[in-house]
């Protein structure tokens, strides 16, 4: 019987286009409705939500995913124990909001009046992500896709509507849209998930969940800051306009993250099963094949990065053309990082994971402050590439020498990075050629890649 891995991969890819890539989908309209300053502030709001969510949710959705993939026994009681704790915890956070509003808003670069909206969105996202994490862990990829498509299509339509009709503060379209959609989703989840929440509170289960999720907060937060700190630093050092240009390029570059995260969502449950069965040969074959496919997708994204900017945006955003290939390289390295860190996740060594990710974050922040004054937003893009390389390297080291269960060679990271940097030089050369000549060469490369995938039956290998 064929594995569901490839089927789930395509399902998650479709779902993640609307979840993690909804700004990418909305770029053609948003970039024409919003100037770079408004776009930059909208991006800061999104960054604030991503960072605050880690603290508001205590990262408990990851504990749910991990627990269900290992065993579904007494899952109802496990989930109920988490909910009985997180609900009063968040009520207290909302009551105490005036005490930390000023300092946190200043750090995140958002207005104090917007903070309560951001906080409310994070609270609602806690329960939405708990539900989608359960769907992912239980391999209900079709339901996951339908839920997320409906949610994000609705959100995108509302963002466009608010951005079009608002005469000032158009960035608030993001807040208004997400508030409305989240309220509807919460009501829906309450209606359909009553069976899941019929377990009894058990302190042992709560302790187990917190022991997994709390040490991982540093890892998740560091990961969020790895992708978002550059925008905060650019905003402080160069202004909201530059942050808007960089954010636009980053959101376009998320097209590869959509594919990478979709693959990991479908592969991780299967990986755990193969590790349990000690089927290391299958792990290596699938990892190798999946890496080839994702590398080729990243190559195509880099090749057509200039055309994506021209097609998606007005000329106000053309300054992002030069940095987009670099951002795609940085995002592409997330795939190799996930290859290594999944082995450490299996061992539940969350403190080790957090320390390694924190180390990569420190490197990223230092490089941003050093390179931005010298090279502008391009310096931040290079900082991202270097930081994600070290992120993968550090997790290779933890999986190989500390948990001692990683079986994937360090050569993956080296050859993957060298290959992407080579393509980067090719892209720079092609973008300087005559437009017609450049496009002809790019489409020839596209054809060769498609023939390669068919000839070596890449998709068929992944479906086994």
Predicted confidence (pLDDT) at residue 432 exceeds the cutoff of 50? yes
Percent of the chain with pLDDT over 90: 43
Domain segments of the chain: what residues?
A: 5-462
Reference 156, options 251, 261, 50, 53; nearest CA is: 251
pLDDT in tens, 16-30: 655 555 555 565 557
CB-CB contact of 215 with 350 (8 Å): yes
CA atoms within 13 Å, Cβ hemisphere of 314:
10
Residues 355 and 96: their CA atoms lie apart, in Å, by 30
Q: With bands split at pLDDT 50, 70 and 90, how would you rate the model's confidence at 420?
A: very high
The DSSP line for 285-342 is HHHHHHHHHHHHHHHHHHHTHHHHHHHHS-GGGGGGTTTHHHHHHHHHHHHHHHHHHH
Residues 425 and 447: their CA atoms lie apart, in Å, by 20
Predicted confidence (pLDDT) at residue 60 exceeds the cutoff of 60? yes
pLDDT in tens, 394-406: 999 999 999 999 9
pLDDT value of position 74: 81
Reference 358, options 216, 222, 217; nearest CA is: 222
Mean of pLDDT values over 205-232: 84
CA atoms within 13 Å, Cβ hemisphere of 302:
28
pLDDT in tens, 257-274: 878 887 887 788 888 889
Mean of pLDDT values over 7-16: 60
Q: With bands split at pLDDT 50, 70 and 90, how would you rate the model's confidence at 2?
A: very low
| Neighbouring C-beta atoms of residue 428, cutoff 10 Å | 11
Residue 252: C-alpha distances to residues 202, 307, 371 (Å): 44, 11, 22
Instruction: Compute the Cα dihedral for 252, 258, 261, 263 and give only its sign.
Output: negative
Predicted confidence (pLDDT) at residue 367 exceeds the cutoff of 70? yes
DSSP code, position 35: -
pLDDT value of position 184: 95
SS3 for 344? helix
Percent of the chain with pLDDT over 70: 91
Least confident of 269-278, 319-328, 372-381, 443-452: 269-278
Mean of pLDDT values over 109-131: 92
Residues 137 and 234: their CA atoms lie apart, in Å, by 37
Predicted confidence (pLDDT) at residue 160 exceeds the cutoff of 80? yes
pLDDT value of position 24: 57
pLDDT value of position 18: 55
| Phi and psi, residue 228, nearest 5° | -120, -20
Which of 162-166, 296-300, 345-349, 457-461 tops mean pLDDT?
Answer: 296-300
Higher pLDDT, 212 or 185: 185
Residues 189 and 133: their CA atoms lie apart, in Å, by 13
Tokens 């009501």 map to which residue? 187
CB-CB contact of 152 with 178 (8 Å): no
pLDDT value of position 1: 38
Which of 23-27, 70-74, 348-352, 436-440 tops mean pLDDT?
Answer: 436-440
Predicted confidence (pLDDT) at residue 9 exceeds the cutoff of 60? no
pLDDT value of position 11: 62
Instruction: Report helix, strand and coil shares of the chain as percent, to nearest 5.
Output: 85, 0, 15
pLDDT in tens, 78-116: 888 999 999 999 999 999 999 999 999 988 888 889 999
Predicted confidence (pLDDT) at residue 154 exceeds the cutoff of 80? yes
Residue 388: C-alpha distances to residues 43, 223, 331 (Å): 21, 10, 8
pLDDT in tens, 373-386: 999 999 999 999 99
pLDDT value of position 302: 96
DSSP code, position 21: T
Mean of pLDDT values over 262-287: 87
Predicted confidence (pLDDT) at residue 305 exceeds the cutoff of 80? yes
Residues 424 and 303: their CA atoms lie apart, in Å, by 8
Predicted confidence (pLDDT) at residue 201 exceeds the cutoff of 90? no
Computed over every residue of the chain, the mean pLDDT equals 86
Instruction: Compute the Cα dihedral for 280, 283, 289, 292 and give only its sign.
Output: negative
């Amino acid at each position: 019987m064929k594995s569901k891995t490839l089927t789930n991969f395509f399902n998650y890819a479709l779902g993640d286009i609307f979840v993690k890539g909804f700004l990418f989908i909305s770029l053609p309209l948003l970039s024409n409705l919003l100037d770079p300053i408004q776009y930059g502030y909208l991006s800061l709001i999104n960054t604030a939500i991503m960072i605050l969510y880690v603290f508001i949710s205590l990262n408990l959705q990851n504990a749910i995913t991990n627990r269900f993939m290992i065993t579904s026994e007494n899952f109802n009681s496990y989930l109920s124990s988490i909910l009985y704790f997180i609900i009063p915890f968040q009520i207290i956070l909302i009551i105490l909001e005036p005490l930390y509003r000023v300092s946190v808003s200043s750090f995140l670069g958002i207005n104090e009046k917007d903070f309560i909206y951001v906080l409310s969105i994070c609270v609602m996202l806690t329960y939405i992500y708990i539900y989608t994490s359960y769907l992912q862990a239980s391999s209900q990829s079709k339901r996951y896709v339908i839920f997320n498509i409906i949610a994000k299509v609705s959100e995108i339509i509302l963002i466009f509507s608010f951005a079009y009709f608002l005469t000032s503060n158009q960035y608030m379209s993001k807040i208004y849209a997400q508030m409305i959609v989240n309220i509807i989703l919460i009501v829906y989840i309450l209606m359909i998930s009553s069976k899941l929440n019929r377990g009894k509170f058990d302190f042992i289960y709560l302790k187990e969940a917190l022991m997994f999720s709390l040490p991982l907060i540093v890892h998740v937060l560091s990961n969020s800051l790895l992708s978002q700190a550059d925008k905060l630093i650019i905003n402080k050092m160069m202004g909201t306009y530059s942050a808007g240009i960089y954010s636009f390029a980053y959101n376009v570059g998320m097209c590869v993250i959509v594919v990478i995260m979709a693959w990991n969502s479908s592969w991780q449950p299967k990986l755990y099963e193969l590790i349990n069965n000690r089927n290391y040969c299958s792990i290596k074959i699938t990892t190798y094949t999946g890496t080839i496919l994702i590398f080729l997708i990243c190559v195509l994204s880099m090749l057509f990065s200039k055309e994506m900017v021209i097609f998606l945006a007005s000329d106000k955003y053309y300054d992002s053309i030069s940095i987009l290939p670099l951002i795609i390289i940085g995002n592409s390295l997330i795939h190799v990082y996930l290859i290594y860190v999944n082995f450490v996740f299996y061992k539940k060594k969350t403190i080790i994971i957090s320390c390694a990710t924190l180390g990569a974050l420190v490197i990223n922040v230092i490089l941003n402050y050093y390179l931005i004054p010298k090279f502008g937003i391009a310096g931040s893009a290079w900082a991202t590439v270097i930081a994600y390389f070290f992120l993968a390297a550090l997790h290779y080291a933890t999986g190989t020498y500390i948990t001692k269960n990683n079986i994937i060679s360090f050569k993956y990271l080296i050859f993957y990075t060298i290959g992407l940097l080579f393509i980067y030089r090719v892209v720079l050369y092609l973008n300087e050629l005559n437009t017609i000549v450049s496009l002809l060469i790019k489409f020839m490369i596209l054809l060769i890649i498609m023939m390669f995938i068919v000839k070596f039956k890449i998709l068929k290998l992944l479906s086994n």
